[in-house]
Amino acid sequence: MWQIDKNAFAGCGSLRTVSLPASLKAIGEEAFRDCGLQGALVLPASVESLGNGAFRGCAGLSSATVPARITALADNLFAGCDSLQTVGLFAGSADNPPVLSSIGRSAFEGCRNLQSVTIPGLTVGGTYHGVTAIGEKAFKGCSSIDELTVPDGVESIGDEAFGDVSHITYRGTAGGAPWGANGMN
């Protein structure tokens, strides 16, 4: 299997765990929306595409690990995942820089227990690799994040991107600070 179709398991409240094959490349829009998934979600390294709202409303997820091949976190990807505490995004290294370039609109909106997420970004040989755009309301309602560091290479940050986040650190040039955050340096 290489793809899970749009809405494939949407609304399956009794679906608690899922074992995804190493051959999986794509998860469609709202494929697992409002499912009863519990605990840790580890997506196979082969996954290259995650559709809008793929895991939206999966209130029992406690952590998620996103593969290194993902170039964009889709709109509403984990929105409303109340129990989500940590998200692993590939940070990269000088030899293998991150390819994630954007975090979509409302990607984590309403994840009130989210405590830890590192937004990838690093400069290798004078060239920035990592997230350059964060959509509106991307982290709105993530009130358990005490501090979030936004890489200096981020050029575009949407309205209310950090609404209810206690404090962000950012030294880049995107206008509109603090994008809903309670504090900033």
Give per-residue pLDDT as tens, 140-171.
999 998 888 888 899 999 999 998 888 888 76
pLDDT one-digit tens code per residue, 166-181:
888 876 777 776 776 6
Starting at the earlier edge strand, list the strands of the sheet with 156-157: 72-73, 102-103, 133-134, 156-157
Task: State how far the Cα of 63 lies from the Cα of 132, in Å rounded to an integer.
Answer: 24
User: CA angle at residue 142 from 135 to 100, to 5 degrees?
Assistant: 40
pTM for this structure?
0.93
Rounded Cα distance between 122 and 133, Å, is 14
Q: Counting Cβ atoms within 10 Å, is residue 163 exposed (0-12), middle (13-18) or buried (19+)?
A: buried
Highest average pLDDT, of 3-7, 153-157, 181-185, comes from 3-7
Residue with tokens 């494939």: 8
Choose among 139, 130, 40, 133: nearest CA to 84: 40
CB 131 within 8 A of CB 151: yes
Closest by CA position to 148, among listed 107, 176, 114, 100: 114
Specify the number of domains making up the chain: 1
- Any idea which residue has 């370039």 for tokens? 101
% residues pLDDT > 90 (the chain):
78
CA diameter of the chain: 49
Domain that holds residue 125: 1-185
Q: CATH number of the domain at 27, please.
A: 3.80.10.10
